[in-house]
Amino acid sequence: MNKGELTVRQQLILDYIRGFFAANLYPPTIRDIGRSVGIASTSVVSYNLDKLRDAGWINRDGRVSRGLQLVHKPLRRVPARGALVTVPLAGRIFAAVPVPMPAADASFAPDETIDVPRSMVGDAEDLFALQVRGDSMIDAMVGNGDIVVLKRTQIARNGDLVAVWLRREEETTLKHFFVEPSGRIRLQPANPTMKPIYAQAKNVEVQGRVVLVLRQPRGGGRG
């Protein structure tokens, strides 16, 4: 395939990537692209990205979530006023076996914050960020050292990635939330080597729903 010889679907994908880069100054994920052009299968999106790469429109590193680069990137622009949202970095959350949450996390200053694009999180009200410790959500593209931005809520739907507090154990964890037919709660890891956690509904307190994952360079991160 030569440059210019794109299918309609590939042109839509390329246009979306260009627009996303221009608005956010970083690339979209495969799931972002699929939602934008109406493709449910990530493998179909990946196939078309490979075709765009082979045709010389993009460079691609399939090992990372946002591993796309335009061969001819749009001009960078300074984000418009109000395009960024300041979110407090509240501490750490453990994506592993639940562990006690310390009363205070001394490794973070009380006023420490991060800035994220408003286009990615919407309304800034009730947002907070946590640094992830552990690898139980690695197949959900959430690894050790990554930052998750959450919306404060006590309500979760099946499949939501949430921070939960287990009241009886006085422990916290980050997992996918499901209500079993029996009424008990299943906290599902995204790691085939780890088993789900089951708890009675009255023992589970949802503290926030993840709305954005900021992946960090492997081997880096805070602390």
Residue pLDDT, tens place only, 30-52 = 888 888 778 888 888 889 898 88
pTM over 0.85: no
Tokens of 69: 């680069």
Q: Is 136:190 a contact under the CB 8 Å cutoff? A: yes
pLDDT, average across residues 63-73 = 68
| pLDDT tens profile 100-139 | 654 334 344 445 788 777 777 777 788 988 888 888 888 7
Return the pLDDT at 185. 95
- How many residues are given for the chain? 223
Separation between Cα atoms, residue 158 and residue 186, nearest integer Å: 10
Beta bridge partners of 53: none
Task: Choose between 73 and 155: higher pLDDT.
Answer: 155
List where CATH 2.10.109.10 sits in the chain. Answer: 84-214
pLDDT bracket for residue 175 (50, 70, 90): very high
DSSP output for 50-112: HHHHHTTSEEE-TTSTT-EEETTPPPP-PPPTT-EEEEEEEEEEESSS-BPPPS--TTS-TT-
**Per the residue annotation, which of 51, 65, 136, 151 is the catalytic one?**
136
**Dihedral, CA of residue 46, residue 52, residue 55 and residue 61, to nearest 10:** -60
Query: pLDDT at position 106, please?
Result: 36
Pick the catalytic residue from 175, 182, 195, 202.
175
Measure the CA angle with vertex 140, ends 134 and 145; round to 5°: 35
Answer positive or negative: Cα dihedral of 10, 12, 17, 21: positive
The predicted model gives 134-157 an average pLDDT of 86
> Does the pLDDT of residue 191 top 70, yes or no?
yes
Catalytic status, residue 136: yes
* 222: pLDDT strictly greater than 80: no
Query: Which range has the worst mean pLDDT, 100-114, 161-175, 207-221?
Result: 100-114
CATH T-level fold of 84-214: Umud Fragment, subunit A (2.10.109)
Greater confidence (71 vs 56) lies with 56
Residue 2 scores a pLDDT above 70: no
> How confident is the model at residue 214, as a pLDDT?
81
202 is catalytic: no
CATH topology of domain 8-70: Arc Repressor Mutant, subunit A (1.10.10)
pLDDT of amino acid 17? 84
Please state which of the ranges 9-23, 140-154, 184-198 shows the lowest mean pLDDT.
Answer: 9-23
> What per-residue confidence (pLDDT) applies to 60?
81
What residue ranges of the chain are covered by domains with CATH 1.10.10.10? 8-70
